[in-house]
A and B are shown apart, each in its own frame.
Chain A
Amino acid sequence: MIEGARWRKWAFFYVPMALFLLFLLFPFYWMVITSVRPDGELYRPWNSINYNPFWTWNPTWDHVRYLLEETLFVSWLWNTTFIALASTAISLVCGVFAGYALSRLNFPFAGSLGTGIFITYLVPQTLLFIPLAEMIRNYRLGDTPWALILTYPTFLIPFCTWLMMGYFKAVPKELEECARIDGASRWQAMLYIVIPVAVPGILSAGIFAFTLSWNEFVYALVFLSSPEQKTVPVGVTSELIRGDVFFWGPLMAGALLGSIPVAIAYSFFVEHYVAGLTGSVKG
């Protein structure tokens, strides 16, 4: 904490903090205000007398109603949830086991294999989608949720593996050794001791994976084409921007509603998630 005179606290803590919060929260505010402003205010030229982009006296639910009733937003939401949950589940299972193996089983090349896995995470999706598109076509998965559920793990598994590797390394190996002396097989020691201890790490890997797949854009744009199959990020941008016409109200309403599940996931697990990032296992 900052010591000394009161003004120091203000100058070095409260004011920077307020600026930081303003910077972070302004986009959300903008989303909220835009999604409830009537079109008449939204498209008013900037030099008109009553131009005021930061506030409205005539809030309306029209944009939200339009989004939910006139577009396929509800099915996009459902698609996104299903795809994100399924790909997160697959990636977590693979990532936890791979992370455990790489950090705990001292097999030859474990270190370089770990680095290799991380490098695959660095291959940009904008390159990877070309060969993947070919594979999706060959297996006739195009325009189905499986196109994404099976491709998202290409970047989620390396990510989860890497995160879990670090976390498993922080779990004292004596815990496992003790379990094995106590009569557990290696498998049981992992299942009953190491994984329960690593739950905060698994949760943070899960939340990250969920967020990454929820927000993913490139693969979703390339592999899905029919409107009813789309995910929220692609659906909102492709169906609410027609030509060069931006339907700002519904667009922002879609962005807002689309970010709520992620926000809920974060706030729900925030304690575990912070513990997972700081990586503390207290015995």
Chain B
Amino acid sequence: MGQVVLKGINKFYDSVHAVKDVNLQIRDKEFVVFVGPSGCGKTTTLRMIAGLEAISSGDISIDGNVINELAPMDRDIAMVFQNYALYPHMSVYDNMAFGLKMRKFEKLEIGQRVRDAADILGIGDLLKRKPRQLSGGQRQRVALGRAIVRHPRVFLFDEPLSNLDAKLRVQMRVELKKLHLRLGTTAIYVTHDQVEAMTLGDRVVVMKDGLVQQVGEPLELYNQPANKFVAGFIGSPAMNFAAVTVTEANGSLIVENPGLRLKLPDETAQRLRGHIGNEVTLGVRPEDLSVAGTADLDHPCFDAVIEVVEQLGSEILLDMKVGEDVMVASVEPTVRVKVRDKLRVAIRPSRLHLFDAKTEAAI
């Protein structure tokens, strides 16, 4: 079992309120990812769960037992650090066995568990080496192995892939996912990389300035962001935003600014009724923009001037000037355009996001 409950967790460093009233229920076997920009309190939250930071107020419980006052060693957790934190003077075997030795396991049992973990991770032939003789990816595996030999109730990961190069990071990400499917241990994972968050997490917790912005499954965050921050943070390239004013004409709602004028589809319009005359923020993802053709005549359209064309092979990113705003569109690789071209751009109407200009909450 490994059910973790955070109840009203706060953390103060002197006058700095680093983590603000975090409430979260993590189910057994769940893979939960904390994501956010640096300084958002995600690592602090993880360290409070690990017992490495004191909790200023609130309760953390695992399987129903409050663990606020327990020492890290008594919480039955294992943690993987960003810099791996391998013990440099010990062999790989001793690194993995250390936790078991400290807990007075029998020698045979230790050997068995270390070999099992090494087999799972494919580091069986490295057991006699010292950490400095290993590559980054191998060190990462040893750090993982050190965590899994203990069979803890919860795994904690603190940006474990950040020190790897891009290719290896993708590979290890897949392996982490496989490992979790295989072991089924509850995992709490901290990262600043939204791709890692989306691909690994059963649920993702987006944090900013110590506050939880939204908790949800990856696609939920992507399709229904709770506010402008989540909308801009999740997804790459990031969502385009434009400040627009809501007006009414001939019974339908229109959002406009100097560069664009869009008629809203009815279901979106319903939600905006209360905002007529106000300024709101329009959000649209690059992949929901396309070069207007005959197929989408009924879609809302606007004019744009191409500033930069980024050929990615699988897609083309167009950096466009729309009135005063800059927008990015991700279009089919077959589209032939060049810099300074004038285009008519269509938006998939069902994919418009609107945010309150002041509170930034989704409308």
Contacts and interface: CB of A to CB of B under 8 A. Distances in A.
Q: Is the interface of A mostly helix, strand, loop or mixed?
A: helix
Interface residues of B, number: 28
B87 A197 contact: yes
A178 B86 CA distance: 8
A157 B82 CA distance: 35
Contact of B84 (A192, A281, A283): A283
Contacts of B51: 181
B185 to A, nearest CB: 15
A10 to B, nearest CB: 37
- The residue among B79, B82, B87, B103 with the most chain A CB atoms within 10 A of its own CB is B87
Contact of A175 (B77, B87, B132): B87
A177 interface: yes
B183 interface: no
A183 B88 contact: no
A120 interface: no
Nearest to B102: A183
B102 A188 contact: yes
Contacts of A3: none
Interface string A136-179: 00000000000000000000000000000000000010110111
Interface string A244-283: 0000000000000000000000000000000000000111
Interface in B46-90: 50-52, 71-73, 75, 77-79, 81-89
A129 B225 CA distance: 74
B78 A181 contact: yes
B71 A179 contact: no
Contact of A181 (B77, B84, B131, B132): B77
Nearest to B131: A283
A188 to B, nearest CB: 7
B98 A182 contact: yes
Contacts of B98: 179, 182, 184, 192
Interface residues of A, number: 21
A175 B85 contact: yes
Nearest to B73: A183
Nearest to B143: A178
- The residue among B75, B102, B146 with the most chain A CB atoms within 10 A of its own CB is B102
Contacts of B85: 172, 174-175, 177-178, 283
A189 to B, nearest CB: 9
A180 B71 contact: yes
Interface of A: 172, 174-175, 177-185, 188, 192-193, 196-197, 199, 281-283
Interface of B: 50-52, 71-73, 75, 77-79, 81-89, 98-99, 102-103, 131-132, 139, 146, 150
Given A172-B85, A181-B51, A184-B102, 14 more contacts: A174-B82, A174-B83, A175-B85, A177-B79, A177-B81, A177-B85, A178-B81, A181-B50, A181-B75, A182-B102, A183-B73, A197-B89, A199-B89, A282-B88
